Amino acid sequence: MDHLWNNGWYRFARHLASPNFGERPANTVVDLVVIHSISLPPNQFGGGFIQQFFTNQLDWDADPYFDTIRGQQVSSHFLIERTGHLWQFVSCNDRAWHAGKSVYRGRDSIERTNCNDFSIGIELEGVPGSTFTDAQYESLSSLNAAIRQTHPTVDFVGHQDIAPGRKDDPGSGFDWGRLWREFGK
């Protein structure tokens, strides 16, 4: 495993450190991967705006939409572009700011109400309801296999599953069956 990871940084990702992260609570077991979708501006791909957003470098005046997210400080562990290119912004040992208000299993249990604490966030460049590219699924499959080597009990959910009514990504265009087939489920 040491050949894949270095202090929570995946060897096969391009690293661009985000300041938007924190420490995980003590003794936290990472057991969840949250799959998201994002495009900036909406329905536009490429341009580096997502990377700028996750590193607090976005020019808020570059597009009218950016005014609606002005000042937000968010991140994800990973981003997979439409081309399949993989970026990493936060070490998997740390807590990225990707899920927001969220709950996973144990709705009555306070320790399961902030999914950022115990999850790894993966953003796919896309929009809810859109389909994703073969290159994205290939990168996602390789990344997920590497994550499972370090965190063998991890479950996979969409953002919509942990923040229902608030989030709808990755949406109906994401092929969950393809993900499960790659894991032999």
Phi, psi of 116 (to 5 degrees): -60, -30
Name the nearest CA neighbour of 123 among 59, 180, 54. Answer: 54
* HEC string for 128-139: CCCCCCHHHHHH
Can you say whether the dihedral through the CA atoms of 165, 132, 54, 107 is positive or negative? Answer: positive
Distance between alpha carbon 43 and the CA centroid of its chain, in Å? 18
Say if CB 122 and CB 78 are below 8 A apart.
yes
Phi, psi of 145 (to 5 degrees): -60, -40
Q: Which is catalytic among the residues 23, 111, 123, 125? A: 123
Say if CB 121 and CB 114 are below 8 A apart.
no
Say if CB 35 and CB 174 are below 8 A apart.
yes
- Does the active-site annotation cover 138? no
Residues recognised as catalytic: 123
